[in-house]
Each structure stands twice: as C-alpha cells, then as structure tokens.
Structure 1
Amino acid sequence: MHEDVSKILRTIPSMDKLLALEWVEGFCTLLGRKTTKLIIEGVLENYRNEVLRGNVKDVNLEFLYDVIQKALDKASRHNLTPVVNATGVIVHTNLGRSCLADDVASDVRLISSRYSNLEYDLERGKRGHRYDHVEWILCQLTGAEAALIVNNNAAAVLLCLTALAGDGEAIISRGELIEIGESFRIPDIMSFSGTKMIEVGTTNMTHLYDYERAINENTRIVLKVHPSNYRIVGFHSEVGRKELTDLAHSRGLLVMEDLGSGFLVDLSAYGLKGEPTIGQCIEEG
C-alpha cells in the first residue's frame, strides 16, 4: 500500500471517537448504540474504499461527519410517508393502493392500540376465528357462499390453484398469460401450485371450442384472468364469462377467475366504469 494512502487511512477517526461525539450520542439514544455503530461502520467502509481507489487525497472531517449524519438521519426517519397521487390511477399499487376512509382509519387505530376479540367469541366465552368478523360481510357484498381473506391477490390465486387443481390440469387462454408488477406471472404461479398449465387459443384469438377441445379426465378447472391495464386491440376475440362457465359446468368443472383488485360494489355512478364487480362474476357462474 502506498505510504500516502496509509497516512490518509490513519487520519480517519476511530469508531470510539465518533461514538463519543455529542450529536452521535443523540442518535445512540434514538436508534440504539448497536444500530448507530453499524451505520457508521458502513459509511467508514465506503470512505476507506474511496481512499484506496485514489479518490480521496486528504481526510475532510467536515465532509465525513456530514455523510455520517445524513446516514443516521435517514435511518431515524419513518420510511413510509404521505405522498400526492398525481398519476391519474386511483388504486395505485405503488402508492398504497386504496385509501381508508377517516372513520375506518380511526376504528383501526382504536382496535389495534388495544386488546380485542380478534380470535375470541364473546358470546360463547371461547376461542373464536378471526375470519368470523369479515366472512359474513364479504358474502353479503358479493353474493358468495363463503369467503377467505389472505394478504394479497397473488396469495389468493396460489392457494386456489393448489386447492382446486394442484393434482391436475388448469386450462387458460394464451392471451391471459400475463405478468403484473415485477414478479406476479401467471405461468409461474400455476407452476408453484403444482397444477399443469394447458394453454389454449392464441395470443389474440381464443374461441369456446379451444377450451372444449382441451377438456379431458385430468382437467380440474378452467382459469380466466383479468388482464389489468394490458389490452389487445384490433383483430381480437375472447370467450365471455357466461359462455365459459356454462361450458365448464356442463362438464362438471369449476371456473376460477382472477379479477385482480376487482370491485366489491358498482362504482359506475362515480365515473369508474368498465370493471366487473365480484358479485356480477359470481352471478354469471
């Protein structure tokens, strides 16, 4: 190592000296000494690497302290912060999705800050089930016979495929083999579930007879997927929900539909049109 480089490295303050600084002690109180030390170590490692690359000719303590303080400031701030949604997309997956009404947010804060009957039946005085609080409401909103809530749509699709078609085949149009976001890909989800994906039709044209020809003794479900903001225009054809469910039911099969976020209620009166509600889909089979 060049003598000048060694000299520069030796002039970098030690960890003990840095932790003894009054403003650093404040961060130790806020973040904890262990976390504060870890953050400073990261800054020092990057700084030493810059010295070794020849990018630092002399230690500038003011600059080094500023970098350390900014790193500690960033770690001490809340990562989540309110933003203005100016995208034109109301339910934006990157901006927190649907906003909670003030009354709902107030109720959530009240319940989450206290003990509650999350899994306790107050009438029977025994352990209850957390889904009891929401299943009836969802069934009333959608007309479903039963309901189950999971963390996100990908989890719901994976669970349904595993339960309904994990030991057989699931038929899907090639025009619906989509990718949403960075990692939700229909072919991958189907593979993870254990079901065998049977593609029918083409990217732009899928007919009812394509599904009919693919049905065999190994078929468990017919899968229909909402394309989200992906659209095929021009020479294009797809099978409607009612036609598809009529065919599947005539063969003793279930139809599973991935609606994405979907609408629980009809919002067309508020200018949001073109999206089916979950209740409408259930009515059509």
Structure 2
Amino acid sequence: MNKVMSQMPSVDQVLKQVDDLLQDYNHGYVVERVRRVIEALRDQVRESAELLQRAQLLVEAERKVRRCIELETSPNLRRVVNATGVILHTGLGRAPLPAAAREALEQVAMGYCNLEFDLESGRRGERVHHVEELICAAAGAQAAAVVNNNAAAVLLMLDTLARGREVVISRGQQVEIGGSFRMPDIIAASGAQLREVGTTNRTHLRDYEAAVGPDTGAILVVHPSNYKVQGFTAEVSLGDLAALSRRADVPLIYDLGGGVLVDLEQWGLPPEPEVVASREAGVDLVSFSGDKVLGGPQAGIIAGHRDYVERVHKNPLMRALRCDKLVYAALEATLRLYRLSPGKLAETLPTLAMMGTEIVVVEERAQKLLGLVADDVRDALGLELVESLAQAGSGALPLAEIPSRAVAVDPGSTGVESLARRLRHEGVVGRIAQDRLLLDMRTVCDEELAWIAQALAGATAP
C-alpha cells in the first residue's frame, strides 16, 4: 500500500497541469480543489487493489480538478433540452419564450427603461399601462392588473372583494394545483370564508341561489384545468351565474388558469375555454397564467370590470405581488404577437408550435437525431425510433394526448436510471417508460439535436 501511495501526485505537480485555471480563479480556491481531489484519489486507491502509476494518477487528478471547478462555477439555473414530451413542463420552466420576448428582455435588461415613467409628460407612470391595452383587447376587458402568478391573482381578487365575507364555490371546483396549493387554502389566506355548494360531480343553479345572501362577498368559479370529471355530472353555465351575481349585486370571479386567448381547435387540439368568452358571458373578473398556453413569462393576469380592477390596484398586497420590468417586457412582446400577427402564432410562439407540429415533422426530427449518432453509439444504447404520446402539461388540456415520436434508449446493463442521470448532467432530460429512456422529439427543436447526440456519445464513454 505504501508503494501505491508513493505514486500519488503532489499538489504542486497537479497545479502545474492546471496552471491555466489560475488566470481566471483565485490561487487559494484552485489549491483547495486540488487538495480535495488528491484526498479523494487516495481514498479511491485504498479501496482498490489496482496499481496505478504516477502519470495515470496525475492525468486523473487533472481531469477531476477541471471537472470540479467547471461544475462549481457553472450557473445553477441553466438551459436544458426538454425531451420529456411535456410541453409546459413546470419543473423545466413551462413555456419557452418567443424570439420577440427574448429580444425585449435583452433591451430592457441592458440598461434603464420607462417602467414607471411617462416619457410624454415626464411624470411618474403606471407599469401596468405597458400591457393593459393589449390585455383588454385580447380579453374583452375594461381594465387589467398583472401579478407574479395566477395563484397570486386569485388571492388578490378574493382579498380585495371578499375579505371577511363568504366566497361561494362548487365542491367540484375546490382544486389542488402543483406544489399542494389547494383552493380552500388560498380562500382562507385571503381572509374570506369558504361556502361550499353542490356536490363533487353535480352542482345546480339552485345550489348557488340558496347560498348567496347578505354575507356573500363573491361567487368563485374555478376551471378544472388539471383534471376532468366525466359521467353523471352537471355544472352551471357562466351566463347563469353572471345573471345571479347581478341580481345579488356580488362579483363573479373566474379562475381560468391556462390563459387561452385563441381557438386551439385550429391546430387540431381539444377546445379550451377562451378568456374573451368568459367576459362575454358576464364574468366580472377573470384571472389566468402568462406562462402556460399563452406562451409568455410567469405572471398572473387579472382582467375585467374597471371598478373591480381599480379596487385590486389599491389593495396593499398589489405592491407585494407586482411584477418587475423583465416580466413586463416579455409579457408585452408576447401579447403583441397575438395583436399584430394572430395568423402566425403557430410560427412565433414556441408553445403553440410544439402543440401543432405535424407528426411527419416530429418523425423527421427523430430520424435526424439518429443520423447524427455514430453507429457504435447507436448499437451500444440500442437506439430506436418509437411512437410516443406528448402532453400539454401544467394543468392545460388534461385529457389531450398529442401523437409524437421518440428515440428510445435501452442502455442494457448500464441501467436506465444511471443513463438518465448521465444525460441530465449534460442538460438533456427525457422520461423513463418500460425500462427505457424516451427522448420525445415534440418538445425538442432542431438546433438541440447535435446537443443530444453529443450527450448520448458522452454517455457511452468510460
């Protein structure tokens, strides 16, 4: 063992191999990493009966030091390839931003901007004015507000209009969204009191009529975007609830969630309630997400009756929940695509492009990937083109299964979990099904194919 340990390189020897790193990083920082690597190598050698020469150990030490520093100095938040087939993958950041939004972000981030400054009058302005007219045009609303996500939007609306009073809601709409956030909890946090009506599967207008009274602060409707109740069901139309709310003089609030501004059926997708339709039905305030089907940044958008929106803006919580200049820049640019080029949304919005891409194009993408991978790598990983089913994700289109194609990876004795982990280290995220790793091509863009091919090649390296 002493003979083996005598072959261990010294700190100075390893430092000479990585002296280029000293130009970018503090000397003490690099030395500490070198010492850690040498100590780890000592432990590794003690556990192994293999006799390694100093030259071999020096090469291994250099590799480990460079890898260690690369990992420690790389950003924690970085771009990855979404090969899961889940278009609006919450864990991977939901909607990829369109080019127009990315350009707007760069322009606003590189200097100052007129976030709350009126360039015409030279006085203080309102940040919501950058997007309010665009939101109102798309939603058929009189006024709008923007906060950091849709849960915040619901909390703010209820806190403003129903604090200390009852919120009437169907039992079948008391949903739980991602992260264990439940609608009853949000209602409680707003200071309002939950008043349940109907049953899980059937709620009638008479149930609402019996519940609405002097203590009612609002009627709340929640679109079940992340599940679907089928069979023996009944629900009350927005039009009937709007008529009831007017008779009772209480606001009707609609938590729409997904933020659909256009008819999705034109891309062969199942119909989803559109924001403008809710306003046409008589909803006073509707809220929806910016980073789901809408295809923009994370935001909670409130649109509706001017009087109610003005009350929302005056709520002290509004300042705590408001968005910054980057969100406004990306949101404005995204909304302008709906306003100026509605016929080109399938080209300009990545989310809609992925949902509506023809299956033949997805299959061609899979074939391109297979063509980029060397034969020995294909054989080692058992690569195969297979049929797949993609989905919208993030609670959007819960029953929609979108036909797709995937490259299946069968690593054999390596193990699928181990392979998936190695690919994740290279920024490629797939999904595991039936002991194989599937790389779904519906959520991959052509520019990412070389990235995936390189990651697959690296996964077969010793």
Q: With structure 2 as the length reference, what TM-score do the two structures score? A: 0.50
Q: CA deviation at 1:155?
A: 1.0
Q: CA deviation at 1:251?
A: 0.8
Deviations 1:91-134 (A, max 9, x none): 33333322322233223222322322222111101222211111
What pairs up with 1:88-237 in 2 under 5 angstroms?
89-237=86-234
Q: CA RMSD in A?
A: 3.6
What pairs up with 1:68-83 in 2 under 5 angstroms?
70-78=67-75, 79-83=77-81
Is the contact made by 1:158 and 1:189 (CA closer than 8 Å) also made in structure 2? yes
User: Amino acid of the residue matched to residue 84 of structure 1?
Assistant: N
Distance 1:72 1:202, change over 3 A: farther
Q: Distance in 2 between matches of 1:166 and 1:24?
A: 64
- Cross-structure match for 2:246: 249
User: Amino acid of the residue matched to residue 191 of structure 1?
Assistant: A
3-state DSSP of counterpart to 1:279: helix
Q: CA deviation at 1:69?
A: 5.2
Deviations 1:60-84 (A, max 9, x none): 9888887665443223223321413
Q: Distance in 1 between matches of 2:27 and 2:126?
A: 42
Question: Which is bigger in relative contact order (C-alpha 8 A, separation at least 6)?
Answer: 2
Is the contact made by 1:27 and 1:72 (CA closer than 8 Å) also made in structure 2? no
Higher strand content, 1 or 2? 2
Deviations 1:121-170 (A, max 9, x none): 11101222211111111111111111011111111111111111112110
Deviations 1:37-80 (A, max 9, x none): 9x96xx79xx7xxx9xxxx769x988888766544322322332
Distance 1:27 1:77, change over 3 A: farther
Distance 1:234 1:64, change over 3 A: farther
The count of corresponding residues between Structure 1 and Structure 2 is 265
The share of aligned pairs that are identical, in percent, is 39
1:26 and 2:21 correspond: yes
Q: 4+ residue stretches of structure 1 with deviation over 6 A?
A: 19-22, 60-68
Deviations 1:200-242 (A, max 9, x none): 1111111111111111211100111111131111122221211
- Segments of structure 1 that go 5 or more residues without pairing to the other structure are 1-10
What pairs up with 1:241-280 in 2 under 5 angstroms?
241-280=238-277
Q: Distance in 1 between matches of 2:68 and 2:211?
A: 58
User: Amino acid of the residue matched to residue 168 of structure 2?
Assistant: I
Is the contact made by 1:220 and 1:254 (CA closer than 8 Å) also made in structure 2? yes
Q: Distance in 2 between matches of 1:184 and 1:91?
A: 19
Is the contact made by 2:263 and 2:271 (CA closer than 8 Å) also made in structure 1? no
User: Amino acid of the residue matched to residue 144 of structure 2?
Assistant: A
User: Amino acid of the residue matched to residue 78 of structure 2?
Assistant: L
